[in-house]
């Protein structure tokens, strides 16, 4: 229902866009409605709570540069999102599970926090052969 209401969320489902309803709502969309919908889409896509998203917005507001770009950079630097973008898993909830079950090493250390903020020079790898097999299973699915 949420995917149908908010539109495509590639990190949440593998359904194609043709499966979803394409009709626009029968009323004029206000600016408040548009912003609310985008906020809900962003928090659902990245698996964030309202409070976590607000924290990221505050950090982005204090940083130098355009707030929206900094916010997207912060969200894309999360470990669970990087695993999803690398193609190690098919969905963001799957990436969160892989991290919380301690299958991922960052710079040779086990990291079990999905919101861990990675740096560009960090190396991300599977913990052992069992974890590699699990990732291969995710990729094959």
Q: List the domains of the chain with CATH numbers.
A: 1-76 (1.10.1050.10), 77-141 (3.10.290.10)
Residue 118, pLDDT score: 94
Q: Is the pLDDT of residue 140 over 70?
A: yes
Q: What is the pLDDT of residues 21-45, one digit of tens each?
A: 566 667 788 899 888 888 888 888 8
Burial of 52: CB neighbours in 10 Å, binned 0-12, 13-18, 19+: middle
Higher pLDDT among residues 48 and 19, named by residue:
48
Query: Given pLDDT bands bounded at 50, 70 and 90, which one contains residue 53?
Result: very high
Q: What is the pLDDT of residues 94-138, one digit of tens each?
A: 899 999 999 999 999 999 999 999 999 999 998 888 888 888 887
Percent of the chain with pLDDT over 70: 82
Q: Which two tokens stand for residue 89?
A: 């898993």
Residue 138, pLDDT score: 77
**Which ranges of the chain would DSSP assign to H, the alpha helix?**
2-6, 31-46, 50-62, 67-76, 79-86, 92-100, 129-140
Residue 27, pLDDT score: 77
Determine the Cα–Cα distance for residues 141 and 135; give it in Å rounded to an integer: 10
Residue 29, pLDDT score: 84
For the chain, the average pLDDT equals 85
Chain position carrying tokens 């130098």:
64
């Amino acid at each position: 229902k949420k995917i149908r209401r908010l539109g495509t969320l590639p990190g949440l489902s593998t359904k194609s866009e043709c499966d979803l309803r394409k009709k626009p709502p029968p009323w004029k969309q206000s600016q408040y409605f548009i912003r609310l919908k985008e906020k809900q889409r962003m928090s659902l896509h990245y698996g964030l709570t309202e409070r976590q998203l607000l924290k990221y917005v505050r950090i982005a507001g204090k940083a130098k540069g355009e707030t929206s770009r900094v916010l997207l950079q912060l969200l894309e630097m999360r470990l669970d999102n990087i695993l999803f973008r690398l193609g190690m898993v098919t969905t963001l909830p799957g990436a969160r599970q892989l991290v919380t079950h301690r299958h991922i090493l960052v710079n040779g250390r086990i990291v079990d926090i999905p919101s861990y903020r990675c740096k560009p020079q960090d190396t991300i790898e599977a913990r052992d052969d069992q974890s590699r097999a699990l990732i291969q299973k995710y990729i094959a699915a």
